[in-house]
Homo-oligomer: A and B are copies of this chain.
Amino acid sequence: MKTNQQILSLFENYLAQIQYPEEPQQLYSPIIYSMSGGGKRLRPVLLLLCADAFGGDVAEAMPAAAAVEIFHNFTLLHDDIMDNAMVRRSKPSVYAKWGGNVAILSGDAMMIDSFSRLSALPQDKLPRIMEVFTSMALQVCEGQQYDMDFEQAEKVSVVEYMRMIELKTSALLAGSAMIGAILGGASVEDCNKIYRYALELGLAFQLQDDLLDSYGDEQLGKAIGGDILEGKKTCLMLSAMSRADECDRELLRTLPFDKELSAEQKIARVKAIYDKYDVPHLVNQQITLRFDKALSVLDTLSLESERVENLRVFARNLMSRKK
């Protein structure tokens, strides 16, 4: 079995030898730009770890790992158009650099490319993997649609929000893990458990993302409070909304857009309301709950404990990051 670090570097090597045509240049340059832009490679690493844990051949699973990473990067290209996002991984987004039409078409080509990688997988596993892959891919689209719907919605419940991030963020992680397990030869039961593990982990990850955006350590990089300033309906905001009295609810609605206030004042006042209703603590509880569920599923797999250790390490690494 390989360590997480070994798996990551094997994957980066595999990715580095993928070649794209030179022409048409406007179609393929943005793909190369996007794929070489770094990122944590969480989905392919998890896929390969799962394949490895069940005794599968990591090399044989590489095309699937590339497929989920390319698919993930495709979603970023299109999301950035829809969200009008100019920066991605501290660089100009494809949308900012080449414009909307290029981001649409190069994104389309990336999605096709991700599917084309799957045809190299073992024939007997391909139909099942295609089903899992297309199902998770559709869920990502559904999640993105709900996310956009919520921006316009008057009221969004915490439950609706959790369902949205399950689709938008967790489904891709869970599907990747499951594809790895299938390639590793896991039983249907173990595949479903691996799916559950990654789904819960993805939820914990996204909730932590929300929490760090408002309560992270500023010294570690990213500015704090971006979500608050954008008036985003995050888990924190929706939890606060559901617990606050009418007066505080109105403040939560209006503070982010109050032109009399500085950015710092907006952030401080919204966070004061979060704190008043114990929201950070509640979200932390949810994170812990989801994380513990993810780990406890691993104990029920039909594998010796040491074969599962890398999946525990992956989960802990994922949650120990700062923004």
Chain A interface residues (CB < 8 Å from chain B): 24, 26-27, 78, 81-82, 100-101, 104-105, 107-109, 111-113, 115-116, 118-120, 123-124, 126-128, 130-131, 133-135, 137-138, 141-142, 144-146, 148-149
**Are A104 and B81 closer than 8 Å at their CB atoms?**
yes
Q: Could you say which of B82, B112, B133, B148 contacts A141, with CB atoms under 8 Å apart?
A: B112
- Nearest neighbor of A141 in chain B, beta-carbon distance: B109
List, in ascending order, chain B residues with CB within 8 A of A123's CB: 123-124, 126-127
CA–CA, A295 and B124, complex, Å = 38
**Are A135 and B108 closer than 8 Å at their CB atoms?**
no
**Are B105 and A82 closer than 8 Å at their CB atoms?**
yes
Other contacts beyond A111-B112, A112-B138, A119-B130: 15, CB < 8 A: A24-B149, A26-B148, A78-B104, A105-B144, A108-B111, A108-B141, A112-B137, A112-B141, A115-B115, A116-B131, A116-B135, A119-B127, A120-B127, A123-B123, A126-B127
Interface of A is mostly: helix
CA–CA, A250 and B78, complex, Å = 40
Knowing A119-B130, A123-B123, A131-B116 are in contact, say whether A142-B78 is a contact too (CB < 8 A).
no
Instruction: Please give the count of copies of this chain that the complex contains.
Output: 2
List, in ascending order, chain B residues with CB within 8 A of A105's CB: 78, 82, 141, 144-145, 148
- Nearest neighbor of A111 in chain B, beta-carbon distance: B111
- Nearest neighbor of A143 in chain B, beta-carbon distance: B24
Report A150 CB to chain B, min CB distance, Å: 10
Report A238 CB to chain B, min CB distance, Å: 18
Q: Nearest 8 A-B pairs (CB), nearest first? A: A116-B134, A119-B130, A24-B145, A27-B145, A109-B141, A112-B137, A82-B101, A119-B127
Q: Could you say which of B82, B112, B138 contacts A104, with CB atoms under 8 Å apart?
A: B82
CA–CA, A182 and B24, complex, Å = 29
CA–CA, A124 and B138, complex, Å = 25
Knowing A24-B142, A119-B130 are in contact, say whether A101-B137 is a contact too (CB < 8 A).
no
List, in ascending order, chain B residues with CB within 8 A of A145's CB: 24, 26-27, 105
**Are B109 and A27 closer than 8 Å at their CB atoms?**
no
List, in ascending order, chain B residues with CB within 8 A of A81's CB: 100-101, 104
List, in ascending order, chain B residues with CB within 8 A of A131's CB: 116, 119
**Are A109 and B138 closer than 8 Å at their CB atoms?**
yes
List, in ascending order, chain B residues with CB within 8 A of A127's CB: 119-120, 123, 126
26 contacts between A and B (CB under 8 A): A26-B148, A27-B142, A27-B145, A78-B104, A78-B105, A81-B100, A81-B101, A81-B104, A82-B101, A82-B104, A101-B148, A104-B104, A105-B141, A108-B108, A108-B141, A111-B112, A112-B134, A112-B141, A113-B134, A115-B115, A118-B130, A119-B126, A119-B128, A123-B123, A123-B127, A126-B127
